[in-house]
Amino acid sequence: MDHSLFLGVVGLVALVVLIGIRVPIAYAMIVVGAVGTVALNGPNVFLNQLKTLGFSQFSKYDLSVIPMFVLMGYIATRAGLSQDLFRAANAWFGRLRGGVAMAAIAACAGFGAVCGSSLATATTMGQVALPELRRYRYKGSLATGTLAAGGLLGILIPPSVVLVVYAIIVEANIVSMFAAALIPGFIAVAIFIVVIAVFVRIYPDTAPLSGSVERGEWLAATLGVVPVLGIFVIVIGGIYAGFYNPTPASAVGVALVAIYGSLRRGVRLADYKWALLETAKTTGMIYLILLGAELLKIFMSRGGVPQAAAEMMVTSGLSPMLILILMLVALIFLGCLMDSMSMILLVMPFFWPVISELDFGMDPNDVKIWFGVLALVVVELGLITPPVGMNVFVINSLAKDVPMWDTFKGVFPFFIGELVRLALLIGFPALTLWLPHMVSG
């Protein structure tokens, strides 16, 4: 092992130690990247790199989509879109056993399509749906497990902030990534609803039957969700139709959600101020992690760590599919220790060079898109697996009378459902690639 590679491996170990002692991931990557570059090339090289790195990173046009979609999500939270979505979903599913839980899943999917964040989806829909689930006497484990799992839909159904970040890291087309995520997102919704239907059939006492909705209430609830669906069609449909790219689409989305909130829900100036401040905080955090990831990537590339890892995997004799599965398993375990955004930024500079060298019998751009969706599916799992399980902690904080262990038990059937979806996407890449081909064709 040469000197540069040795320093790279030492840096990787140091990074794991820093993360293990709970140093924020952005600071851990910045420290390792800075110290490692200085050790390899000296302080002058690092300082020359630093004076232009921040501008070159944050002036990228594609990055401007992040604060806009984040802002759209925060305004949507205050505009009451979640209530309209849940009311409509409950009107359609409520009469079934487990129907209120199914409605929560459908509403989470709808809100995730406007919000783009799993934690925001879990938090907002938890506040809206949890009182209804309690009112119909749903068992605590099923109620909290459903909402924690439903929050996962915010990370994959477009627009997704994590999906945008992945596309930027591997230099994929954002529109293609959005298209690739749509069908897997709908599959997740269908699987989650089936999971609930099977679970309440086996354990009927967990979800008492609720009464049917009167026709007038059903019609009002259905019509009430039309503006929300219209926003999704205009924003995401406009991207797929080629009317605009994701950045102006995000601006259109912010404007539409703001108009909806002001006219229908009476969103006040104080709410917009709150949304702007929260957007600044969230975007600042994401950008700091991006800077740290770039510093770390430069150091590791100069140390030859990704190249060595790619060569080792390619010459290992293992089949490409087995290497892919091992990587996905590693991502599941990593998801138990860190949040989804940090994991994508930390791991992709190491995993993608390996994947790009493997032969899966498809076009390299298709591999890039397919692997991105698979990675995001397993990254989702980290949000519901212990010890971190951020979605579980968020929902459990809203239902303090439900033991944390009960919430994890309630999430487990959905975890199995996610593994089924992952197997489908691995076995049938067309589920991911068909729509991107249609959009680009």
Tally: H helices and E strands in the chain: 23, 0
As a residue count, the chain comes to 441
Task: Quote the pTM value.
Answer: 0.84
pLDDT digits (tens, 9 = 90+) for 275-332: 899 889 888 888 888 888 888 888 888 888 777 777 777 777 788 899 999 888 888 8
Burial of 79 per CB tally in 10 Å (0-12, 13-18, 19+): buried
Q: Which two tokens stand for residue 271?
A: 């709410």
At residue 269, the pLDDT reads 86
Long-range contacts of 45-54 (CB under 8 A, 24+ apart): 49/298, 53/291, 53/294, 53/295, 54/291
| Residues in CB range of 310: below 8 A, 6 or more apart | 353, 354, 356, 357
Element (H, E) at 299: helix 269-303
At residue 164, the pLDDT reads 85
Question: Reduced to 3 states, what is the DSSP secondary structure of residue 239?
Answer: helix
387 prior amide bond cis, ω within 30: yes
| Section 122-132 average pLDDT | 83
Angle (nearest 5°) at CA 196 between 191 and 200: 150
pLDDT digits (tens, 9 = 90+) for 67-109: 888 888 888 878 877 778 888 887 888 778 888 889 889 888 8
Do 407 and 414 touch, CB atoms closer than 8 A?
no
159 prior amide bond cis, ω within 30: yes
When pLDDT is cut at 50, 70 and 90, the band that residue 188 belongs to is very high
Do 136 and 126 touch, CB atoms closer than 8 A?
no
- DSSP notation for 79-107: HTHHHHHHHHHHHHHTTSTTHHHHHHHHH
Question: Reduced to 3 states, what is the DSSP secondary structure of residue 14?
Answer: helix
Question: Reduced to 3 states, what is the DSSP secondary structure of residue 244?
Answer: coil
At residue 195, the pLDDT reads 95
Question: Quick one: which of 219, 97, 73 has its CA closest to 155?
Answer: 73
Span of 186-200, 213-227, 242-256, 363-377 with lowest mean pLDDT: 213-227
Do 64 and 248 touch, CB atoms closer than 8 A?
no
Place of tokens 């990704």: 306
pLDDT digits (tens, 9 = 90+) for 27-36: 888 898 888 8
d(CA 247, CA 422): 30
Phi, psi of 244 (to 5 degrees): -160, 160
d(CA 28, CA 33): 8
Q: Evaluate if residue 172 carries a pLDDT over 90.
A: no
At residue 210, the pLDDT reads 67
Domain ranges, ordered by start, for the chain: 3-440
Do 166 and 71 touch, CB atoms closer than 8 A?
no
pLDDT digits (tens, 9 = 90+) for 218-267: 788 788 788 888 888 888 888 888 788 888 888 898 999 888 888 876 78
Place of tokens 């140390």: 303
120 to 183, 204, 332: CA distances (angstroms): 22, 30, 21
Angle (nearest 5°) at CA 159 between 158 and 165: 110
- DSSP notation for 205-220: GGS---PPPPHHHHHH
At residue 387, the pLDDT reads 67
Do 117 and 151 touch, CB atoms closer than 8 A?
no
Q: What one-letter code names the amino acid at 17?
A: V
